[in-house]
Amino acid sequence: MITIADSGTTWANYDGIRIYNTDTTTNAGGRLVFNLGDSGTAQAGIAGVIVASSDSALAFITEDSDTITEKMRITETGNVGIGTTDPADLLVVQNSNKANISLAPSGNNAIIRMDYITGNDAIIMFRENSIEKGRIAYVGDTKELRLISSEAESILTLHSNNTERIRINAAGNVGIGTTSPGALLEIVDGDVNITNGTGDWGMIFDEATGFVGMGYSINDNWAQLNGPLSIFASGDNGSSAIRIQTNDATGEHSGIGFYTASLPGQSFPLGLVGLEKTSDTGQHSGDLVFYTRPGTTNVAPIERMRITSGGDICDPATDADLSDCASDARLKTNIQDYQYGLNEILQLRPVNFNWNQKAVSELSYNPNLTNTGLIAQEVEQIIPEWVETKEDGYKKIPGSGDLDLVLVNAVKELNSKISALEQQNNELKAEISALKEPSLEKNPREKKK
């Protein structure tokens, strides 16, 4: 053991062990060499290297396959270089074959800590030939952790299981499952599920079918929304608040359906409103069509009303509420005279009335509004075809029944009666005239008068 006492407190005292070289040229200096025996093989050492007249560096040297090379250097400025003799930064690791840094702690955590003492930023920078290509930075002023790619056409990717999962291209488009995203976010080959903390559906996009569910799972090939939907549009009058368009080339049908969860497993919605194409030329003209589905299970919706492209309001001859959309004789068969007329009109009792409390509670009718109309049960005794019973058990007269047709027949009957009376009146006049003629012949003075 060698013990060396040093009474000084600074390096300038030069106390201790001094190894020096009389050669004072650049790169000369004293060396501490470790050998295997006295053979001069398997050498390792530390050398003080003269950089300039008043600058020095410390080099660490090892031997590999009988070749002695410098492996690490601490420069005169304190920079440490591994694999380089001229480190430009505080620590530079450089090698033509590899430049790996491995942390293998025996505990639970492996940590690389970037801790800025002064200033605002902590940065891990990636360079190629001293030119920056990217960095990971924590910006203290804005409290941001940034992953930055510096080149103009650079790309950021995230991998798992040695496979690319997410890509951000130079335009800022994000791709999941694709290496060439063409939109701000593009997801390929996979469903997208957004749920809350309890596992309830928030939103789901089904990749296989292309259907969407919001607040609901996808079922029966419907895009489903569980909850109210508000759609707003900004801009000029040409803006679309909501647009529903079919994917086929003709655009023949499109519509909105209404579905209730109280009827699970039903194949058809409760109501539809849709646009039906009526022309193939130019900008397609179309009818606005309204449907309802009757209470019978698994029965297709029935068209109830139509607003034609020409502005007519009609129905498809399914009931008597509105006029039919066509009245051409070439479209009709089994034509018979309508049977009801004046007799039935005289039996009908028009009334004024207000809705009672049952109508208010069950149907939300206004009890303060005075209405005019007929009583369904009374009409049923006179013209039973006019009255139908709804699903809730209440009776109704669709529209006004066939009141216009009954009035036509009633007017015709009245006209016939009037014509008959006129005929009778004319006949009576003729008879009276005939009775007067003989009396005039017997009394000429009466005739002169």
pLDDT for the residue numbered 405: 86
pLDDT for the residue numbered 402: 79
Which of 279, 297, 331 is at the close of a domain? Answer: 331
Q: Which residues of 113-126 are buried (b: 16+ CB within 10 A; e: fewer)?
A: eeeeeeeeeeeeee
The answer as to whether 2 is a domain residue is no
E strand intervals along 316-362 = 351-353
Question: Quick one: 297 and 348 in the same domain?
Answer: no
Question: Quick one: 310 and 352 in the same domain?
Answer: no
Question: Quick one: 377 and 419 in the same domain?
Answer: yes
Do residues 439 and 449 touch, judged by C-beta distance below 8 A? Answer: no
Q: Which of 45, 48, 44, 40 is nearest to 21 (CA)?
A: 48
Question: Quick one: 344 and 434 in the same domain?
Answer: yes
pLDDT for the residue numbered 176: 92
Question: Quick one: 52 and 78 in the same domain?
Answer: yes
Please tell me the number of Cα atoms within 13 Å of 299 on its side-chain side: 9
List, for residues 77-97, the tens digit of each pLDDT value.
999 999 888 898 888 888 777
Question: Quick one: 323 and 269 in the same domain?
Answer: yes
| Longest Cα–Cα distance in the chain | 187
Question: Quick one: 266 and 296 in the same domain?
Answer: yes
The answer as to whether 120 is a domain residue is no
Position 20 pLDDT exceeds 60:
yes
What range does the domain containing 160 cover?
129-225
Question: Quick one: 135 and 61 in the same domain?
Answer: no
Question: Quick one: 207 and 258 in the same domain?
Answer: no
Q: Which residues contact 183 (CB under 8 A, 6 or more apart)?
A: 173
Domain total for the chain?
4
The answer as to whether 147 is a domain residue is yes
Q: Which of 169-178, 270-279, 325-334, 399-408 has the lowest mean pLDDT?
A: 270-279
Q: How far apart are CA 128 and CA 297, in angstroms?
A: 72
The answer as to whether 265 is a domain residue is yes
If DSSP codes are grouped into helix, strand and coil, which group holds residue 20?
coil
The answer as to whether 443 is a domain residue is yes
Question: Quick one: 71 and 51 in the same domain?
Answer: yes
The answer as to whether 435 is a domain residue is yes
The answer as to whether 103 is a domain residue is no
Q: What is the pTM of this model?
A: 0.44
Q: Which of 239, 325, 246, 243 is nearest to 289 (CA)?
A: 325
Confidence class of residue 440 from pLDDT cuts 50, 70 and 90? Answer: low
If DSSP codes are grouped into helix, strand and coil, which group holds residue 240?
coil
The answer as to whether 292 is a domain residue is yes
Question: Quick one: 205 and 276 in the same domain?
Answer: no
106, 112, 136, 421 from 109: Cα distances, Å: 8, 10, 21, 115
Which of 93, 118, 149 is at the close of a domain? Answer: 93
Q: How far apart are CA 303 and CA 319, in angstroms?
A: 10
Please tell me the number of Cα atoms within 13 Å of 219 on its side-chain side: 13
Q: Which of 315-319, 346-350, 368-372, 420-424 has the lowest mean pLDDT?
A: 315-319
